[in-house]
Structure formats: C-alpha cells, structure tokens
Amino acid sequence: MKKVALITGASGGIGSAITMQLIKDGFKVIGTYLNDTGQQTLDWVKEKGLSEDEIRLLELDVTKTEHCQEVLTKLLDEEKHIDVIVNTAGITRDAVFKKMTAADWNAVINTNLNSVFNVTHPIFPSMLERGSGRIVNITSVNGIKGQFGQTNYSAAKAGMIGFTKALALEGAKAGVTVNAVAPGYTATPMVSQMREEVLDAIKAQIPMKRLATPEDIAGAVSYLVGESGGYITGETLSVNGGLHMH
C-alpha cells in the first residue's frame, strides 16, 4: 500500500519540487491548491504526465479553519491514512514595518502560520492512533535570523519553528516526528519578485554564491520523511548555502 503525503502549496516553487521528489520516493501525493491557482496546478500536473495513483489534487484554502477541518476530515476518511504532511503554503508581503499594513501582517500570519494549525490539527490525532507519521514544516532562514522588511514573514516562520518543537514533544511517544526545513534564498517565483539590486546584495552574502534550487530543499524533506530520518524530531534543518549557521 502506497504511503500518502499531503503537501500544501504543491503548485508553488518549492512545493512542486517536493511533490515530484515524494512521488519519486513512492508516495501518493495529495497536492493542495487554491481556487485561483487551481487551473495553473492542473496544467502543471498535466505537463508532468502524472497519474491518479501518483497525485490527487485537492482544493484547499489553508487560511480557513472550519473549511480545512471539513475537507481534511473527508480526505482522511477517503484515503484511510495520511502518513506525511508537508506544510509548504506560504506568501510574502514585504514592507518596512512603519509602512506595513494590518492586511500585509494578517495575510502572512494567516497563510504561513495559522495554516499550519488548520492543516495539521485535523490529521495529527490519526497519526497518534496509528503510531506513525511525519510532519515537515517549511520555514525559512529569515525565521531564524530575521530579515529587514519581513517582520510579518520572519514572525510567521519563527512561529513555525516553535510549533515544530512543541508538537515534536507531543508526537514523540507515538513515533510521530515533527521537523522543519529552513530554506535560504531559493530560485522560485517568490524570490524572483524581489527587486534585482536587493536580491543581488543578498546573493553576494551567500557563501556558496548561488541560490538554492527547489530540488535542494526537496532533498531535505525526502530525507526527513524517509527511512533514514526516523529518529530525528523537533529539528530545523537549514538548507541555505551557508547564509546563516545556527
């Protein structure tokens, strides 16, 4: 029986690479998408020629608590087991704090942090009952070190790390691991939205002198959800080319 991995933000820059990697690892992936990006997701799946046994698409607004509870309870009922959750859905609304609006703040906290509650909460009890499960939260180097212009994003990503450690303690006895992966600057549409001179200045600070590839990040997730990662829990694995060491 195939193991099932639920990946939020599966059509995104990092999410799509994680999706491809976990399919390669033998998982059936449930990839979530949002209404307005749904068509884009479907096109992407079609392009890759993936089968129904490899991927199932699920419309999910990760910011809505009751909706997630409803959709994910039904999903669990249909699939019988969810073995892995990868919380990848995330956005940026960068602005210096004095110019940041409440809307910028709330959008990032809701999509990047409250989503982790909304998606994990309906499924976690079933992992405890089954005595197995792996949860990986995609945080960021900027949740560890802080970043100018990202008080909202850094707060949300740091929050994910605290959540990871606390839930790891609750899952440990049942053999459910909870970890985070902290990408550095990665070659995705999110990073290419940045002003060129700002990104160039950041690239100059990366000891490896290149952005991460989405596959660099997917490899770390694959390790944490695979056979070799079973005794690692509560950990944050940085994949940042040496940009920040902790």
Please report where in the chains the tokens 């949002």 appear, as a residue. 34
Determine the residue type at 148.
F
Q: Which is nearer to ligand CAA, 92 or 120 (CB)?
A: 92
Catalytic residue (one of 153, 185, 223, 231): 153
198 near ligand CAA, judged by CB under 6 A? yes
Query: Which of the ranges 44-52, 71-79, 124-132, 185-193 carries the binding residues for ligand CAA, by CB under 6 A?
Result: 185-193
185 near ligand CAA, judged by CB under 6 A? yes
Compute the least distance from the CB of residue 235 to ligand CAA, in Å: 18
For 205, residues 6+ apart whose C-beta sits below 8 A from its C-beta are 243
Residues 35, 112: contact at Cβ < 8 Å?
A: no
Compute the least distance from the CB of residue 180 to ligand CAA, in Å: 12
Q: Indicate the SS3 state at residue 9.
A: coil
149 near ligand CAA, judged by CB under 6 A? yes
For the record, the structure tokens of 113 come out as 């942090």
159 near ligand CAA, judged by CB under 6 A? no
Member of 42, 121, 129, 148 binding ligand CAA (CB under 6 A): 148
Q: What positions carry a catalytic annotation? A: 153
Residues interacting with ligand CAA, by CB under 6 A?
92, 94-96, 140-142, 147-150, 153, 183, 185, 190-191, 194-195, 198
